[in-house]
């Protein structure tokens, strides 16, 4: 009987500690997830871009029928990162996750590249998590060098 009481008390303590960790550690977890996801996409973009540059440097032409699988087939990439493909006018990927996470990761990727947008600008989407910050829509003029946009 005493063992059962000890087990019940242990479960209650574990539940309290877990709740406290979630309550106090939730923001830290979210920030770390955003940082890790943005680093992942930046790394993948650098790999794909390097393969693309090497492909062109070897005298190959990017035609409208170009497919990212050619980079792997011809040895420029060992594996194509999941989700990377040709989108209208660019080589890119779509960020996965909740809408809030997608926007936060996109904003962080842009910020790491030196691009920050204010929600008061034209043709931008305000962030769910901070309505004063924004990411540009992909059709915004002058964002050719911006790594992430909202489509």
Rounded average pLDDT over 7-34 = 77
Beta strand pairing status for 90-92 and 85-87? Answer: antiparallel
Residue 83 token pair: 């989700």
Strand spans (E) along 1-151:
85-87, 90-92, 117-118, 124-126, 133-136
**Share in percent of the chain as helix, strand, coil (round to 5):** 50, 10, 40
Contacts of 107 (CB under 8 A, 6+ apart): 116, 127, 133, 134, 135, 148
Q: Return the pLDDT at 29.
A: 78
Q: Return the pLDDT at 3.
A: 66
Model pTM score: 0.75
Percent of the chain beyond pLDDT 70?
A: 93
Percent of the chain beyond pLDDT 90?
A: 51
Beta strand pairing status for 117-118 and 124-126? Answer: unpaired
Diameter over CA atoms, the chain: 79
Residue pair 86/100 in contact by the 8 Å Cβ criterion? no
Per-residue pLDDT tens digits for 67-111: 888 999 999 999 999 888 877 667 788 898 999 999 999 999 999
């Amino acid at each position: 009987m005493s063992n059962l009481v000890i087990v019940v008390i242990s479960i209650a303590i574990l539940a309290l500690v877990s709740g406290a960790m979630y309550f106090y550690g939730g923001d830290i977890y979210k920030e770390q997830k955003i940082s890790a996801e943005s680093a992942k996409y930046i790394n993948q973009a650098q790999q794909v871009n390097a393969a693309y540059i090497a492909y062109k440097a070897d005298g190959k032409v990017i035609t409208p029928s170009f497919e990212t699988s050619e980079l792997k087939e011809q040895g420029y990439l060992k594996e194509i990162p999941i989700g990377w493909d040709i989108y209208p006018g660019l080589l890119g990927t779509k960020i996965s996750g909740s809408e809030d996470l997608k926007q936060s990761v996109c904003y962080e990727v842009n910020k790491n590249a030196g691009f920050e947008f204010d929600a008061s600008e034209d043709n931008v989407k305000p962030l769910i998590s901070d309505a004063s910050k924004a990411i540009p829509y992909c059709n915004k003029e002058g964002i050719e060098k911006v790594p992430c946009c909202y489509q």
